[in-house]
Amino acid sequence: MERDLDRLLSPRAVAVIGASPKAGSVGGTILQNLRNCGYQGELLPVNPNYADVQGLRCYRAIEELPDGIDLAVLAIRRSLVLGAVETCSAKGIRNLVIITAGFKESGDVGARLEEGLGRLIAEHDLQVVGPNCMGIIHSSPEMKLNASFSRWFPPGGEIAFISQSGSLGETLLECFGDAGLGVGRFINLGNRAGLSENDFLSHFLKDEQCGAIFLYLESFAAPTAFRRLLSEAGRRKPVIVLKAGRTEAGAAAVASHTGSLASPDAVVDAFLRQCGAIRVTTIEETLTALRALERGVLPSGRRVAILTNAGGGGIVAADACERTGIRVPPLGAGTRQRLEAFLPPEASLGNPVDMIATAGSADYERALEVVLAETDAAIVIFRPPLVYHEPVEAVADGILRIVSENPDKPLLVCTLSEGEAVQSLIRRLWEKRIPTYAMPETAVDALSVLMRARELKEEMGFEEGALPRDVRHAQRTVERVLAEGRDGLTFEEGADVLSAYGAAVCPFHYAASLDDARTFVESVGYPIVAKVDAPGLFHRFEQKAVITGIRNEDALGEAMDRLREIIAHLRLEKGRVLLQKTLSGRELIFGMKRDPSFGPVIMFGIGGTLVEALKDVSFGVAPISSSYAERMIRSIRAFPLLEAFRGQEAVDLAPLSRILLALGQMGLEILQIEEVDLNPVIADGRDTAVVDVLIKLRAPAV
């Protein structure tokens, strides 16, 4: 249900329950913050011990408050919270910020109290922030609200900041202020007994005064809803996420390579990319990204021009661009001729363009106009030389004139300093939201963020692959296995499930005797592979239950004898000897593992016996689109091995994408499947076939 949060964030009257005149008290600090920030609405303190607080009439009880209060902030003892919430509801106060701690974060007693709070919220349809939170802040020309005990009140801006942590949230507010970033809304979620990040995301994505959304999260309240919100509205504005912590570890033993390789952090990376969010991993990276995105201009391509008056800085920037896949192309002959017309002979007219230390504001302005005509973005490096004959603000003004003429092209400035000599230039650029950085590598990182944002917008527009499949047939196979008390499928059963989802399996045969094997070998030819197949035998290779390179009947007979001995040694009552045609091509791995937070996670990578050592894999969270499936394939480091090389044809990527789509659909539709491991899958220029199948089941939830 979509919520109307206008009166929560822009209340006309605020009651502070637990307001106090005592210095340092939480309730008193919140009331003082509301008064000091410039809030223009009515303030109503509530405390039975005082007749007035901070010069305001104090009400003895919530019941005595007048009607028409939009927001109540609760800073009272834990034991009083549930009663106060019920009384607020009876007074018609639906918006609450519960500062009080001591709920589920404090142990069993607190957890039971929070369960009771949750029931009250649902019963009375309340909009509650917290408990155990710092509060909320709204700073805009229309509203000045500091309903928190934060020491920092931002001056306003287009950034909405949602934080799961109160203390880190306040730290970041201070960092944003020092960096000149404009935060207009701050929400500390606390324990999320009521409203979650998804409720505020929904609101801020539609708020025209909000240009970017930043979230600090330690967990996701509802990943599916989070993804839906961004998929529907993420194109409107950038969403940046600093995700800390790890998802919960699954309780079941990991049987597959997918399960062992799908670290929580790798899954979060894939999930956020599919949502269209930009993930950052440090506070420094957060500041870089937000400053770059604040102006809201994304490049149309990956070509950048670098202008500098310090040759070394330009070289460092160019090297950083190469590392991040940003192109620094040579400038065309026409562009070089235009630059020669006004730059000194000593200037270097490649890319970077080194205008040497004597370059003035007019040189910067004209050169920037010239190079932007044939590139998608520009990095301008300016460090005032020891002797400089004009104000540095003149350089900023020249840059700003070109920016106004090229509103669709990002421009980033590097000063090679944070000293007093460049402060007036930085302030002038910040006023117009031009991202400015001290070091060239940071400016390149910022440009990389802008390019990631553009790519994510292009990738959005989620289209779920609609592969033909026979879900009922696959479901019947799985249910039959579970009815027999097994949690693992045989190769034949796995092939049956995969075939129902359109995945090709290599030719195979169960051989009871050498005579039985001859018929299969005559149909497929040597060489062949022999292996033990049994329910619950998840890792054949480790048990030496796979024999490859069988090229004649004598070798086949010996292999079958050895495998029967292994079956007897391992006491595999239903063990059988499985024969397969030997296929040649690239060895790949596909997998699916059910994550406790995100659901079915899909994996792709280079397969074989060294997959866990190489860890060259990519992930996606189901459902995935066909375009994301191809991105998964292309993103592994070893992707060039799938292209044409050394006489081998390039692998057709379409069948690989179909397998990934099939695994995603299978994970969503057959809930009893816990893990799938297809390793190896052999692919060449013509065919793709699954050679080994591991499918582990779980009992359905009761």
pLDDT digits (tens, 9 = 90+) for 684-701: 888 899 999 999 998 755
Give the phi and the psi of residue 222 in degrees, each rounded to 5. -150, 90
Burial class (CB in 10 A: 0-12, 13-18, 19+), 527: middle
What are the DSSP E strand ranges found in 229-303?
A: 239-243, 278-280
What pLDDT shows up at residue 1?
Answer: 67
| CA 535 to mean position of chain CA atoms | 37
| CA 284 to mean position of chain CA atoms | 17
The neighbouring-strand residues paired with 528 are: 550, 581
If you average pLDDT over every residue of the chain, what do you get?
Answer: 91
Confidence band for 604, pLDDT divided at 50, 70 and 90: very high
How would DSSP label each residue in 512-578? SSHHHHHHHHHHH-S-EEEEEE-TT---TGGGT-EEEEE-SHHHHHHHHHHHHHHHHHTT-TT-EEE
Structure tokens at 492: 């034949």
The CATH architecture that domain 586-697 belongs to is: 2-Layer Sandwich (3.30)
The sign of the dihedral angle between the CA atoms of 685, 687, 692, 696 is positive
17 vs 1: CA distance, rounded Å = 28
Confidence band for 234, pLDDT divided at 50, 70 and 90: low
Q: What is the pLDDT of residues 109-156, one digit of tens each?
A: 999 999 999 999 999 999 999 999 999 999 999 999 999 999 999 999
What pLDDT shows up at residue 418?
Answer: 87
3-state secondary structure 400-436: HHHHHHCCCCCEEEECCCCCHHHHHHHHHHHHCCCCE
The CATH fold assigned to 471-581 is Dna Ligase; domain 1 (3.30.1490)
What pLDDT shows up at residue 262?
Answer: 54
Q: Which helix (H) or strand (E) holds 204?
A: helix 197-206
374 vs 86: CA distance, rounded Å = 64
What pLDDT shows up at residue 250?
Answer: 38
For the cut 70, the answer to whether the pLDDT of residue 305 exceeds it is yes
Mean pLDDT, residues 603-629: 86
What pLDDT shows up at residue 605?
Answer: 94
How would DSSP label each residue in 40-105? -SEEEEE-TT-SEETTEE-BSSGGGSPS---EEEE-S-HHHHHHHHHHHHHTT--EEEE----SGG
| Per-residue exposure over 299-308, b if at least 16 CB sit within 10 Å of its own CB, e if not | beebbbbbbb
How would DSSP label each residue in 95-126? EEEE----SGGG-HHHHHHHHHHHHHHHHHT-
**Structural domain boundaries in the chain:** 6-245, 304-459, 471-581, 586-697
378 vs 331: CA distance, rounded Å = 13
For the cut 80, the answer to whether the pLDDT of residue 461 exceeds it is no
CATH 3.40.50.2300 fits 6-245, yes or no: no
30 vs 48: CA distance, rounded Å = 17
Confidence band for 636, pLDDT divided at 50, 70 and 90: very high
Q: Which residue has the tokens 């155990």?
A: 132
Distances, alpha carbon 441 to alpha carbons 179, 318, 352, 383, in Å: 17, 9, 14, 15
Contact residues for 539 (Cβ-Cβ < 8 A; gap 6+): none
Structure tokens at 473: 């047939």
The percent helix, strand, coil of the chain (3-state, each to 5) is 40, 20, 40
Which of 277, 261, 257, 258 is closest to 269 using CA atoms?
Answer: 277
**What region, left, alpha or beta, does residue 500 occupy, with left being phi > 0 and alpha being psi -120 to 50 degrees?**
alpha
For the cut 90, the answer to whether the pLDDT of residue 240 exceeds it is yes
- Measure the CA dihedral 452/458/462/466, to 10°: -110
For the cut 80, the answer to whether the pLDDT of residue 585 exceeds it is yes
How would DSSP label each residue in 316-329? HHHHHHHHTT-B-P
Distances, alpha carbon 99 to alpha carbons 129, 162, 654, in Å: 8, 16, 54
For the cut 50, the answer to whether the pLDDT of residue 488 exceeds it is yes
The neighbouring-strand residues paired with 677 are: 591, 694
- The lowest-confidence range among 200-214, 443-457, 601-615 is 601-615
Strands 673-683 and 688-690 come out as antiparallel
For the cut 50, the answer to whether the pLDDT of residue 475 exceeds it is yes
For the cut 90, the answer to whether the pLDDT of residue 656 exceeds it is yes
The amino acid occupying position 162 is: I
323 vs 609: CA distance, rounded Å = 31
Fold match flag (304-459 vs 586-697) = no
- The lowest-confidence range among 201-205, 340-344, 379-383, 611-615 is 611-615
| CA 15 to mean position of chain CA atoms | 37
The amino acid occupying position 357 is: A
495 vs 506: CA distance, rounded Å = 9
What pLDDT shows up at residue 255?
Answer: 46
The CATH code of the domain at 304-459 is 3.40.50.261
Confidence band for 299, pLDDT divided at 50, 70 and 90: very high
Mean pLDDT, residues 217-238: 86
For the cut 90, the answer to whether the pLDDT of residue 253 exceeds it is no
| CA 702 to mean position of chain CA atoms | 32
For the cut 70, the answer to whether the pLDDT of residue 174 exceeds it is yes
Confidence band for 249, pLDDT divided at 50, 70 and 90: very low
659 vs 604: CA distance, rounded Å = 10
Percent share of the chain, pLDDT over 70: 94
For the cut 50, the answer to whether the pLDDT of residue 25 exceeds it is yes
Percent share of the chain, pLDDT over 90: 81
Contact residues for 480 (Cβ-Cβ < 8 A; gap 6+): none
Q: Crossing angle of helices 440-459/283-293, nearest 10°?
A: 70
523 vs 581: CA distance, rounded Å = 10
Confidence band for 224, pLDDT divided at 50, 70 and 90: very high
Which of 495, 489, 469, 491 is closest to 662 using CA atoms?
Answer: 469
For the cut 90, the answer to whether the pLDDT of residue 225 exceeds it is yes
Which of 311, 291, 315, 341 is closest to 176 using CA atoms?
Answer: 291
Structure tokens at 408: 């669709």
- The lowest-confidence range among 85-94, 247-256, 272-281, 497-506 is 247-256
Mean pLDDT, residues 410-431: 93
**Contact predicate 593/666, CB 8 Å:** no
Q: Any idea how long the chain is?
A: 702
Angle at Cα 208 formed by Cα 407 and Cα 145, nearest 5°? 120
Range 35-38, long-range pairs (CB < 8 A, 24+ positions)? 36/146, 36/153, 37/139, 37/144, 37/145, 37/146, 37/153, 38/144
Angle at Cα 90 formed by Cα 89 and Cα 91, nearest 5°? 90
Q: Which helix (H) or strand (E) holds 227?
A: helix 223-233
**Contact predicate 651/630, CB 8 Å:** no
**What region, left, alpha or beta, does residue 546 occupy, with left being phi > 0 and alpha being psi -120 to 50 degrees?**
beta
444 vs 311: CA distance, rounded Å = 16
Greater pLDDT, 28 or 230 = 28
Give the global pTM. Answer: 0.88
Q: What is the pLDDT of residues 511-560, one digit of tens each?
A: 999 999 999 999 999 999 999 999 877 777 778 899 999 999 999 999 99
Strands 52-53 and 56-57 come out as antiparallel
The helix/strand count (H/E) of the chain reads as: 23, 29
